[in-house]
Chains A and B, each alone.
Chain A
Amino acid sequence: MKHTISVLLQNKPGVLSRVTGLFSGRGFNIESLSVAPTLEADVSCLTLVTVGDDAIVEQITKQLHKLIDVIKVTDISEFEYVEREMALIRVKAEPSTRAEILRICDIFRGKVVDVSAKSYALEVTGTCDKVQAMIDILRPIGIQEIIRTGTIAMTRASKKY
């Protein structure tokens, strides 16, 4: 099962490599990972998506917590939460497909962020599934390049842990 894990960590050199080294060394999966600073200057929040059964995810959270620089580990999937991912997608745009691409972009509430004679670059934000759905629909038209941020997530205020 897919789990979204949120990790608060001290913003120090090498911390990210402690986290990724833990995953590679113990054979855990990382589907996506994103890190950025929080309100506190010396604390970063890392959101990672991993796949595993309950025993593996329990080990993952315990092992993360064991790292000295880790402040807090939350398996966000256990709560009500919102998740978002952003993708930049460059699609081949020919006169015959331009209108279709813009329609699809509109349906997914995306934005055109770059235009050239032969392509559009689209920006889309949403859950991982939504981003994937847009990619799947654009694929037959001809996707040239995709950049995805990986999922970030936040628990809902009403179900604050």
Chain B
Amino acid sequence: MKITGAQALLKCLEEQKVHTIFGFPGGAVIDLYDEILAAEKLTHVLVRHEQAAVHAADAYARVTGDVGVALVTSGPGATNTVTGIASAYADSIPIVVFTGQVPTGLIGNDAFQEVDIVGITRPCTKHNYLVKDVNDLVPTIREAFHIARTGRPGPVLVDLPKDVMASKILFPEPQQVKMRTYRPTYEPHPGQIEKACRAILKARRPVIYAGGGVILSNAHEELTELARTADIPVTMTLMGLGGFPGTDSLSMGMLGMHGTYYANMAVANCDLLIAVGSRFDDRVTGRVDAFAPHAKIIHIDIDPTSISKNVKVHIPIVADCKHALTAMNTWFARSGEFNGKAEKENHALWLQQIKEWKAAHPLGYVEKTDVIKPQFVVQKLHELTGGNAIITTEVGQNQMWAAQFYHFNHPRAFMTSGGLGVMGYGFPAAIGAQMAAPDRVVIDIAGDGSIQMNIQEMATAMQYKLPVKIAILNNNFLGMVRQWQELFYDKKYSATILDVAPDFVALARAYGAVGLRATKPSEVEPVIKEALATKNLVVMDFVIEREEGVYPMVPAGKATTEMLLV
């Protein structure tokens, strides 16, 4: 029996085990929405802005480890997804975005709500497609999901002309996707693994530098095993947080621009840097020539372009992190090298040195009794959720305080727009995360500036009864830019003062949510407790120290050892 393109698409979603999609309708996708109404196994979450649909799909993918899906209409619907797609691309998050398109006969005619979204998103998708023939529809969708979830994951966009959705086809039998031009390398080269293991045996001052690839490939257990077997201290990138237990004695927390003093010192002084699923981003390296200057570098990454892109690598391993780490653990187990105490003792001096750095400059802040410190709020959130919440963030100071003070022990619990740095990511991401994990506590740690970039999604959270908690660290500033202006631009606060702001408590109530406010440190705990006990969307407005800064800080372009400390 022949079915329409729209029906075939929904069948494809079922085949891909997609249960939830995030979207917003429009003229070009009206045929699809007509079918969605009847699709019993599919939950469609109606967002209030297309950007939010993509961020929600992104977080859904991060929590579940599978592909997130968004659906929008042509023209403005499609262009509104670009920020979300670019963010997912920068963070290697597997999503598939379906965009409506004008009928094939009108493409190129500047038709109403027509835009060349395939052209626009070419540089910020892993791949994209325009389906001009309904016979290509199903194979294309299968390919799109395959590309999104394999290799280095990423966003794939599929553009769907309206007439293709209405045309009829016989649904092709399920088939495994085989592509002539796309075969990612999962298995590491055994020779490189041996070289890497021998380098670890020889090292006196090794450091593991773990990135988002550890989370994406579910390699946290293998990473933990390697670190503990060989007694190697671990530092993580923003995207890597949760890839190694943050409260473990071998954890040095985050490195880079707002990393810990001891992590940056350890990297600057190490003799072996083991980069796992990380990409030597400028926010991590600071001045490149001063980054790990004495170290031999091992780099495990599934994407060959990441290797030796910014920093020259000595032992490259192109592979999936999980496979490579498993191979290394097996090598050590077989060789029995770390059975004796000798190598461990070699690292003991090094661990002692790191301990001393940590004691000299621990992660901290100046506590006050009359004003709420943002770091205190994050610490309290950690304490009162037992460290088990899913945390999303916006971008700026709120993001860095969350990264520094919520010591993530588990992977897939921290969602942040790391590479692109999207203000307005956190709240829609919290919606996506809550859809993926209905029983978890999901908290968006936000700033008063960034929360306003997608605040319309309160309606979405209310409609689907999602008990997301928003913790606004409210300083009436665009805080991170203000901090740069304070430090490097003579305190000229150009366009960073948010004098006019909504009453967030009243705004929450206007949407039917719960609004709570804390203005004194003593009110922080009761507010969080009340929020956690409330089965509803809650906005917590924490009025914080206005000019609090994020420290340590490595000024842009400086070496990571040139940190400004608290």
Between A and B, 8 residue pairs with Cβ closer than 8 Å are A10-B180, A14-B119, A21-B122, A21-B123, A62-B304, A62-B305, A68-B127, A71-B180
Q: By the criterion CB–CB under 8 Å, are A59 and B309 in contact?
A: yes
Q: Is A63 an interface residue (CB 8 A)?
A: yes
Q: By the criterion CB–CB under 8 Å, are B181 and A17 in contact?
A: no
Q: Is A69 an interface residue (CB 8 A)?
A: yes
The 8 closest A-B pairs by CB, nearest first: A68-B127, A62-B305, A71-B181, A62-B304, A25-B123, A68-B182, A63-B305, A66-B305
Cβ contacts under 8 Å, A18 to chain B? 122
What's the Cα separation between A70 and B127 when bound, in Å? Answer: 12
Cβ contacts under 8 Å, A70 to chain B? 181
Cβ contacts under 8 Å, A66 to chain B? 303-305
Residue tally, chain A, CB below 8 Å to B: 19
Taking the nearest CB of chain A, how far is it from the CB of B158, in angstroms? 13
Q: By the criterion CB–CB under 8 Å, are A17 and B122 in contact?
A: yes
Binary flags per residue of A1-41, CB closer than 8 Å to B gives 1, else 0: 00000000010011001100110010000000000000000
Taking the nearest CB of chain A, how far is it from the CB of B320, in angstroms? 16
Q: A21-B123, A66-B305 are in contact. Are A14 and B118 (CB under 8 A)?
A: yes
Taking the nearest CB of chain B, how far is it from the CB of A69, in angstroms? 6
Taking the nearest CB of chain B, how far is it from the CB of A4, in angstroms? 21
Question: What bracket does the count of chain B residues touching chain A fall in?
Answer: 10 to 19
Seen from chain B, the residues whose Cβ lies within 8 Å of a Cβ on chain A are 118-119, 122-123, 126-127, 130, 147, 179-182, 303-305, 308-309, 312
- Closest A residue to B152 by CB, please name it: A66
Q: By the criterion CB–CB under 8 Å, are A68 and B309 in contact?
A: no
What's the Cα separation between A13 and B118 when bound, in Å? Answer: 11
Seen from chain A, the residues whose Cβ lies within 8 Å of a Cβ on chain B are 10, 13-14, 17-18, 21-22, 25, 55, 58-59, 62-63, 65-66, 68-71
Taking the nearest CB of chain A, how far is it from the CB of B195, in angstroms? 20
- Closest B residue to A63 by CB, please name it: B305
Cβ contacts under 8 Å, B126 to chain A? 68
Taking the nearest CB of chain A, how far is it from the CB of B311, in angstroms? 11
What's the Cα separation between A68 and B183 when bound, in Å? Answer: 9
What's the Cα separation between A114 and B303 when bound, in Å? Answer: 52
What's the Cα separation between A11 and B358 when bound, in Å? Answer: 57
Cβ contacts under 8 Å, A62 to chain B? 304-305
- Closest B residue to A24 by CB, please name it: B123
What's the Cα separation between A62 and B312 when bound, in Å? Answer: 15
- Closest B residue to A10 by CB, please name it: B181
What's the Cα separation between A129 and B394 when bound, in Å? Answer: 55
What's the Cα separation between A33 and B510 when bound, in Å? Answer: 59
- Closest A residue to B118 by CB, please name it: A14
Cβ contacts under 8 Å, B305 to chain A? 59, 62-63, 66
Taking the nearest CB of chain A, how far is it from the CB of B257, in angstroms? 23
Cβ contacts under 8 Å, B308 to chain A? 55, 58
- Closest A residue to B156 by CB, please name it: A68
What's the Cα separation between A33 and B312 when bound, in Å? Answer: 29
What's the Cα separation between A22 and B127 when bound, in Å? Answer: 13
**Of residues A55, A62, A63, A70, which shows the largest number of chain B Cβ atoms within 10 Å of its Cβ?**
A62
- Closest A residue to B179 by CB, please name it: A68
Taking the nearest CB of chain B, how far is it from the CB of A40, in angstroms? 11
What's the Cα separation between A100 and B367 when bound, in Å? Answer: 89
What's the Cα separation between A68 and B305 when bound, in Å? Answer: 14
What's the Cα separation between A69 and B147 when bound, in Å? Answer: 12
Cβ contacts under 8 Å, B130 to chain A? 13-14
- Closest A residue to B151 by CB, please name it: A66
What's the Cα separation between A66 and B301 when bound, in Å? Answer: 14
Cβ contacts under 8 Å, A55 to chain B? 308, 312
- Closest B residue to A22 by CB, please name it: B123
What's the Cα separation between A18 and B127 when bound, in Å? Answer: 10
Taking the nearest CB of chain B, how far is it from the CB of A12, in angstroms? 10
- Closest A residue to B303 by CB, please name it: A66
A14-B122, A17-B122, A71-B180 known, 19 other contacts, Cβ within 8 Å:
A14-B118, A14-B130, A18-B122, A21-B123, A55-B308, A55-B312, A58-B308, A62-B304, A62-B305, A63-B305, A65-B304, A66-B304, A66-B305, A68-B126, A68-B127, A68-B179, A68-B182, A69-B181, A70-B181
Cβ contacts under 8 Å, A65 to chain B? 304
**Of residues A13, A22, A66, A69, which shows the largest number of chain B Cβ atoms within 10 Å of its Cβ?**
A66
Taking the nearest CB of chain B, how far is it from the CB of A88, in angstroms? 32
Cβ contacts under 8 Å, B119 to chain A? 14, 17
Taking the nearest CB of chain A, how far is it from the CB of B421, in angstroms? 18
Taking the nearest CB of chain B, how far is it from the CB of A58, in angstroms? 7
